[in-house]
């Protein structure tokens, strides 16, 4: 029982359900009380002990149905040269009668051959399960391994002996040889189905990690529609990691480190026994971030991802003001704080998205709206391609922002090779920035945002 539960927990984690060791122990204790007899009660037990939200319940339910799905052993097709069902020992639906055999197999054959000829589905299912366990099928991770594990299972089932039996029957009993050949082909198909089911259970996590790794390093501006949806999921995962890592201050960081000298002096009256402790406290600035995001047509393919990351900043940092612009600039802090991510992005793009970018006019708007809010504790983040459509870039405003803030960070989705070409004013703007980074991929974007938030920890 314990081994099966461990396999199920691993499959559930691969399906995206986060299961801690304590939660798995609770689930095992609950299962030891109710047993495996009633599958519906067992399913509800896992949902109650392991699922934390509706997404977990859905993923866990699908994983349970797949993991505890009884094996469906397909029988070989009926042979054309068979007589009527009564003569062949089969029922009208092509299945062997309960407790009997399709026909008496020849003696001297291997047990597996006899099960295939008699269509002993229970015996075949048990043999495939034992062979899969011996072949360590739970270690399958990638779809390219399907052929390897299928061969391993067939070898454990004795496929070489089955071929020898088939050759012997071809010479002695051609009709029975045809039935055995059909049974071997059905066996191969059943093994392929078993391997495919195991891949869905145990290979999902590795396949998703591989896909995410490819997406993390893919240029966001070159994704097709299917990959855009996958990238949205990946950006949400990045935001969740940021939230989990930085939203709660660590106790050690609040308390600081032990000040040994002052502790000894303070406890001189007790002979140096440290009844009273003194801690070194390092001053940390309270996080204060202002994000300015370009949502014009030239960066429309990546602006959604920028907005998703800005949305996550509102969940991680308490003091964040966000602005979006194309031909003019507006504050979107209230939208990001009061709406869910998808609705907020749609509303922002409806108000200012897909226009022709005017950095000069947008910086003028920012100067009027929020320049006074920029302090020496503020990190200002600009997300955009710095393409001004040959309009006045107003770099002087950016210079004033740089002089007032703690750091000015510019994240550009374009490659460095094109900075300064055409209407790009990136080299001019970079003069006043503390940090300038290319953020063409999700990996680069995550690293940049993580460094910004971590600087306040």
| Local confidence band at 151 (pLDDT 50, 70, 90 cut-offs) | very high
Lowest-confidence pick of 31-35, 238-242, 436-440? 238-242
- Read off the pLDDT of each residue in 300-323 and give the average, rounded to a whole number: 81
pLDDT for res 384: 92
Higher pLDDT, 249 or 316: 316
pLDDT for res 72: 64
Lowest-confidence pick of 139-148, 150-159, 282-291? 282-291
- Read off the pLDDT of each residue in 131-139 and give the average, rounded to a whole number: 88
Query: Using alpha carbons only, how large is the chain's radius of gyration in Å?
Result: 33
The DSSP secondary structure of 164-233, one letter per residue, reads: HHHHHHHHH-HHHHHHHHHHHHHHHHHHHHHHHHHHHHHSHHHHHHHHHHHHHTS-GGG--HHHHHHHHH
The DSSP secondary structure of 377-440, one letter per residue, reads: TEEEEEES--B-TTS---HHHHHHHHHHSSEEEEEESS-GGGTTSTTB-HHHHHTT-SEEEE--
Collapsed DSSP state (helix, strand, coil) of residue 290? strand
Report the distance separating Cα 49 and Cα 41, nearest Å: 12
Task: Single out the residue of 83, 209, 46, 52 nearest to residue 141, CA to CA.
Answer: 209
Report the distance separating Cα 158 and Cα 233, nearest Å: 45
| Residue 332 scores a pLDDT above 90 | yes
- Read off the pLDDT of each residue in 285-306 and give the average, rounded to a whole number: 83
pLDDT for res 274: 78
**173-202 pLDDT per residue, tens:** 888 889 999 999 999 999 999 998 888 888
pLDDT for res 79: 54
| Residue 329 scores a pLDDT above 90 | yes
Supply the mean pLDDT for the chain: 82
What percentage of the chain has pLDDT greater than the value 90? Answer: 30
pLDDT for res 362: 95
Lowest-confidence pick of 209-213, 324-328, 430-434? 209-213
- Read off the pLDDT of each residue in 5-27 and give the average, rounded to a whole number: 84
Lowest-confidence pick of 44-48, 250-254, 317-321, 419-423? 250-254
Please state the CATH superfamily assignment of the domain spanning residues 225-247+284-455 in this structure.
von Willebrand factor, type A domain (3.40.50.410)
pLDDT for res 93: 45
pTM over 0.75: no
pLDDT for res 304: 80
Show the tokens assigned to 322: 């966000």
| Residue 326 scores a pLDDT above 90 | yes
CA distances from 149 to 55, 191, 207, 224, 419 (A): 31, 9, 17, 33, 51
pLDDT for res 83: 44
- Read off the pLDDT of each residue in 308-333 and give the average, rounded to a whole number: 86
Cβ(385)–Cβ(298) below 8 Å: yes
| Residue 361 scores a pLDDT above 90 | yes
pLDDT for res 408: 94
pLDDT for res 251: 45
- Read off the pLDDT of each residue in 266-291 and give the average, rounded to a whole number: 76
Report the distance separating Cα 229 and Cα 196, nearest Å: 25
Q: Residue 204 CB: number of other CB atoms within 10 A? A: 18
Sheet holding 378-383, edge to edge: 329-331, 319-325, 288-294, 378-383, 407-412, 435-438
20, HSE (Cβ side, Cα atoms, 13 Å): 5
CA distances from 389 to 124, 302, 446 (A): 71, 19, 29
- For the chain, how long is the longest CA-to-CA vector? 106
What percentage of the chain has pLDDT greater than the value 70? Answer: 86
| Residue 319 scores a pLDDT above 80 | yes
Report the distance separating Cα 11 and Cα 202, nearest Å: 5
Higher pLDDT, 270 or 413: 413
| Residue 375 scores a pLDDT above 70 | yes
pLDDT for res 257: 74
**88-126 pLDDT per residue, tens:** 444 444 444 444 444 555 667 888 998 988 888 888 988
**388-400 pLDDT per residue, tens:** 999 999 999 999 9
Q: Where in 220-377 does DSSP place strands (E)?
A: 257-258, 279-280, 288-294, 319-325, 329-331
CA distances from 109 to 217, 267, 283 (A): 56, 89, 82
Collapsed DSSP state (helix, strand, coil) of residue 294? strand
């Amino acid at each position: 029982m314990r081994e099966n539960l461990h396999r199920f927990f691993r499959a559930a984690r691969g399906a995206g359900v986060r299961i801690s060791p304590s939660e798995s122990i609770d689930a095992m204790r609950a299962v030891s009380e109710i047993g495996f007899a009633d599958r519906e009660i067992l399913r509800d037990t896992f949902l109650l002990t392991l699922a934390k939200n509706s997404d977990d319940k859905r993923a866990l339910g699908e994983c349970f149905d797949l993991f505890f799905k009884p094996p469906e052993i397909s029988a070989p097709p009926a042979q054309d040269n068979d007589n009527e069902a009564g003569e062949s020992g089969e029922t009208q639906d092509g299945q062997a009668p309960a407790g009997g055999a399709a026909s008496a197999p020849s003696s001297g054959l291997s047990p597996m051959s006899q099960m295939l000829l008699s269509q002993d589905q229970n015996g075949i299912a048990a043999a495939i399960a034992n062979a899969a366990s011996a072949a360590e099928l739970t270690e399958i991770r990638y779809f390219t391994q399907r052929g390897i594990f299928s061969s391993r299972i067939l070898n454990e089932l004795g496929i070489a002996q089955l071929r020898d039996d088939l050759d012997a029957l071809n010479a002695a009993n051609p009709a029975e040889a045809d039935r055995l050949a059909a049974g071997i082909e059905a066996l191969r198909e059943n093994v392929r189905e078993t391997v495919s089911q195991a891949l869905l259970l145990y290979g999902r996590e590795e396949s998703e990690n591989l896909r995410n790794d490819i997406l993390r390093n893919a240029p966001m501006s070159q994704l097709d529609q299917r990959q855009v949806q996958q990238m949205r999921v990946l950006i949400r995962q990045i935001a969740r990691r940021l939230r989990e890592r930085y939203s709660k201050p660590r106790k050690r960081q609040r308390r600081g480190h032990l000040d040994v000298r002052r502790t000894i002096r303070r406890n001189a009256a007790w002979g140096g026994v440290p009844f009273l402790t003194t801690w070194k406290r390092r001053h940390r600035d309270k996080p204060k971030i202002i994000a300015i995001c370009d949502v014009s047509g030239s960066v429309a393919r990546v602006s959604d991802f920028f907005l998703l990351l800005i949305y996550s900043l509102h969940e991680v940092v308490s003091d964040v003001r966000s602005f979006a612009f194309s031909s003019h600039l507006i504050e979107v802090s209230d939208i990001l704080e009061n709406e869910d991510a998808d609705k907020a992005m749609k509303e922002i793009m409806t108000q200012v998205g897909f226009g022709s970018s005017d950095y000069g006019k947008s910086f003028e708007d920012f100067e009027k709206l929020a320049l006074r809010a920029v302090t020496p504790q503020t990190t200002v983040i600009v997300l955009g391609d710095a393409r001004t459509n040959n309009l006045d870039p107003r770099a002087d405003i950016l210079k004033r922002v740089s002089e007032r803030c703690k750091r000015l960070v510019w994240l550009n989705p374009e490659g460095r090779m094109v900075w300064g070409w055409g209407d790009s004013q990136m080299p001019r703007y970079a003069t006043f920035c503390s940090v300038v980074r290319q953020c063409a991929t999700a990996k680069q974007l995550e690293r940049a945002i993580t460094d910004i938030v971590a600087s306040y920890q």
